[in-house]
Amino acid sequence: MKSILIIGMGRFGNHLCRKMVELKNQVMIIDIEEEKLSAMMPFVTSAKIGDCTNVDVLHSIGINNFDICFVCIGTNFQSSLEITSLLKEQGAKYVVSKATRDIQAKFLLRNGADEVIYPDRDIAEKMAMRYSADHVFDYIELNEEFSVYEIPVLDKWLGKSIREVDFRARYHVNILGTKKESDEMQLMPGADYIFNKEEHLMVIGKKEDVNNILKQI
């Protein structure tokens, strides 16, 4: 469990807050507009109405007590930049700031952000990958080279084990887990796991290697 500060309760901040609470973290939320706080107030550790470009507001909540501070302001980049800088000046341990463009990310990183996220871009890239490939059910990019893919089982694997298929040596990807329609997952199946049609595979590998598998469907 971590202590989390979320500044800005727009759509992204709200979704982030809900997930952080679900994962049993201690969450404090701040927004300049009271109505944006109301939906989450029964669930978070604390909530505060305030303008975080005001250093006194940040000073009053003890920034150095939080493990991670998220700056989720999407409509006013100047405010996001100022808050990011002030958080570091106030002793924030780790600051994650939201950006919509690369130029924003550069300024945020130069002014105190430890990490910059692009939620809109990341979702768009994930959807583009999923819907442009007929047999990719989910996709998570890890870096420019490797990604995690949810793919179906090939007919020629059915009834055979991972060892019999010689999966890693033949396809140059690793199986992280299997997933049923109910979303039930089995992580790191052993070499004796038998492929079946009712499950998808969660594999990690290079795009070209996964595409070579998908071409055989």
* pLDDT score at 9: 94
Segment 96-149, tens digit of pLDDT: 999 988 899 999 999 999 999 988 877 777 777 666 666 888 888 787 788 899
In which region does residue 198 sit, left (phi positive, over 0), alpha (psi from -120 to 50) or beta (all else)? alpha
Beta-bridged to residue 206, according to DSSP, are 146
What tokens were used for 35? 């109505």
Q: Which residues contact 71 (CB under 8 A, 6 or more apart)?
A: 7, 8, 80, 83, 84, 87, 95, 96, 97, 98, 113
In which region does residue 137 sit, left (phi positive, over 0), alpha (psi from -120 to 50) or beta (all else)? alpha
In this structure, CATH architecture of domain 3-117: 3-Layer(aba) Sandwich (3.40)
Domain assignments of the chain as residue spans, ordered by start:
3-117, 122-214
* pLDDT score at 138: 86
Alpha carbons 168 and 188: distance in angstroms, whole number: 13
Q: Which residues contact 184 (CB under 8 A, 6 or more apart)?
A: none
CATH of 122-214, one of 1.50.10.150, 3.30.70.1450, 1.10.3720.10, 3.20.20.100: 3.30.70.1450
pLDDT bin (cut points 50, 70, 90) of residue 204 is very high
Which pTM was predicted? Answer: 0.68
Beta-bridged to residue 68, according to DSSP, are 4
Alpha carbons 78 and 86: distance in angstroms, whole number: 12
Average pLDDT, the chain: 91
Segment 139-192, tens digit of pLDDT: 887 877 888 999 999 999 999 999 999 999 999 999 999 998 888 888 999 999
Dihedral through CA 100, CA 102, CA 103, CA 108, nearest 10? 70
